[in-house]
């Protein structure tokens, strides 16, 4: 028996986990009602069959359900045009990039999508990443700011980027430019902001400040006041980075930045290809020097294989459809119909976007409501602490452009039945 085998045998006999005990950690999660499982779907569409978590076995699909839980907002994941674009990319370029883009994984297809994104975002250049998570973590660490000012409800990828950057991170109140200004003023050398003075005179001229915020927040469905945030950032000489993951392709063909006409005031625009653009990957858009620096300094770009060509081809076609077709109008019609219907039933619906958080309150009520809605054939998840604050548990409802009026009515019927049974209406 080899020394390696001896070590394994000793571990099995002694039953030691050498400090690791996944089963105990999982049990602790279950005790706190924080465990989750995987529930495979047989397709990505407005209607699908789903299976209980099969662990390591084959999925056993049940009845078809209507999906109001996906970020496939424009319903393009099964669109024939998008599928054909992915197939064509695989045939002409290959199924995988094969290497980091700094080696041989950089193709003309990647560059074509980056040019299209730059046009949509009104910037000099764009850069693709393997995921939105990689885009945020890589870009924030590459910028290497001294101080980061981060909205308290920013996405986990932004939070992790802040941690990995090693910067001092200051969390300001959600969507509150006044809180941001107060935090910035507190860190000024002079101690108080002066709108008439150059911010660089008030603090170390070499110190870099970065403001990072989502544009559309995925759990509350609200929108950051980007113009006011830019006002504060400019007053203190800071850069602004905006995560448009849940906005890309839905507003004027770009995002909230484009809707509000702020492309020339925001240094870094980030987004994903995996939501409205029905593909995979992330991007940043900005100036030529910014992108060239990130190409060289973002470890999640440098040390990752280039985005798979079929994903690039699919995203490029989806972006074209989002900008030129009527899918956005169809989505907003469905959003308005569903919001009005839920409100008429007596539910408190938060936000102002395609994300409709139905506020429930208690964790138990939210979970029970989601389970009953599922029994009625509707998939819409319960969102509970720690993802949201205590007392604000909710059902997150996300319609697609491809849902029919009859399907929207089925969703409303399910909420009415479940709400009445739970005593919430």
Is the previous residue joined to 386 through a cis bond, with omega within 30 degrees of 0? yes
Q: How far apart are CA 390 and CA 155, in angstroms?
A: 18
Q: Which two tokens stand for residue 53?
A: 């978590």
The residue with tokens 């509350």 is 220
The residue with tokens 């858009």 is 285
Q: Which of 243, 313, 251 is nearest to 278 (CA)?
A: 313
Q: How far apart are CA 293 and CA 307, in angstroms?
A: 19
Q: Which two tokens stand for residue 420?
A: 């009445």
Please calculate the CA angle 72-73-76 and round it to the nearest 5 degrees: 60
Please calculate the CA angle 134-139-144 and round it to the nearest 5 degrees: 135
Q: Which two tokens stand for residue 219?
A: 């759990």
The reply to whether 8 belongs to the active site is no
List all residues 6 or more positions away from 28 whose beta carbon is below 8 Å from its beta carbon. none
Q: Which of 218, 274, 279, 300 is catalytic?
A: 218
Instruction: For helices 80-92 and 309-324, give the axis angle rounded to 10 degrees.
Output: 140
The reply to whether 121 belongs to the active site is no
Q: Which of 110, 121, 155, 275 is catalytic?
A: 275
Q: Are strands 209-214 and 147-151 parallel, antiparallel or unpaired?
A: parallel
User: Are the C-beta atoms of 54 and 40 separated by less than 8 Å?
Assistant: yes
The reply to whether 218 belongs to the active site is yes
Long-range contacts of 166-169 (CB under 8 A, 24+ apart): 167/210
State how far Cα 373 lies from the chain centre. 25
Q: How far apart are CA 129 and CA 301, in angstroms?
A: 6
Q: Which of 246, 274, 304, 393 is catalytic?
A: 246
Give catalytic residue positions.
218, 246, 275
């Amino acid at each position: 028996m080899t020394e390696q085998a001896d070590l394994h045998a000793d571990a099995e006999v002694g039953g030691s986990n050498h400090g690791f005990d996944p089963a105990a950690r999982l049990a602790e999660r279950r005790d706190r009602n924080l465990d989750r499982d995987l529930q495979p779907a047989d397709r990505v569409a407005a209607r699908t069959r789903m299976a209980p978590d099969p662990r390591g076995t084959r999925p056993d699909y049940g009845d078809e359900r209507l999906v109001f839980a996906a970020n496939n907002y424009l319903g393009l994941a099964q669109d024939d045009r998008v599928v054909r674009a992915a197939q064509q990319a695989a045939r002409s370029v290959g199924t995988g990039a094969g290497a980091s883009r700094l080696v041989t994984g950089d193709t003309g297809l990647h560059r074509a999508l980056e040019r299209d994104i730059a046009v949509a975002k009104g910037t000099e250049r764009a850069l693709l990443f393997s995921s939105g998570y990689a885009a945020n973590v890589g870009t924030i660490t590459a910028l290497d700011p001294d101080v980061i000012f981060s909205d308290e409800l920013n996405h986990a990828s932004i939070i992790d980027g802040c941690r990995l950057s090693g910067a001092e991170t200051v969390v300001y109140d959600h969507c509150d430019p006044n809180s941001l200004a107060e935090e910035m003023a507190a860190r000024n050398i002079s101690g108080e902001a002066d709108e008439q003075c150059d911010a660089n005179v008030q603090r170390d001229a070499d110190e870099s400040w970065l403001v990072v915020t989502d544009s559309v927040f995925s759990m509350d469905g609200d929108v950051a006041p980007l113009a006011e945030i830019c006002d504060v950032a400019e007053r203190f000489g800071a850069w602004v980075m905006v995560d448009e993951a849940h906005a890309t392709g839905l507003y004027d063909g770009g995002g909230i930045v484009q809707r509000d006409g702020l492309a020339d005031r925001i240094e870094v625009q980030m987004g994903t290809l995996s939501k409205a653009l029905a593909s995979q990957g992330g991007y940043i858009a900005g100036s030529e020097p910014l992108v060239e620096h990130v190409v060289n300094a973002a470890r999640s770009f440098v040390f990752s294989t280039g985005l798979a060509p079929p994903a690039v081809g699919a995203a490029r076609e989806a972006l074209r459809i989002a900008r030129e077709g009527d899918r956005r109008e169809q989505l907003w019609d469905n959003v308005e119909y569903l919001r009005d219907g839920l409100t008429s039933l007596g539910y408190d619906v938060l936000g102002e976007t395609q994300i409709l958080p139905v506020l429930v309150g208690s964790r138990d009520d939210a979970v029970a409501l989601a389970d009953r809605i599922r029994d009625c054939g509707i998939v819409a998840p319960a969102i509970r602490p720690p993802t949201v604050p205590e007392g604000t548990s909710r059902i997150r409802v996300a319609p697609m452009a491809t849902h029919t009026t009859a399907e929207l009515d089925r969703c409303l019927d399910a909420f009415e039945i479940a709400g009445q049974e739970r005593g919430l209406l």
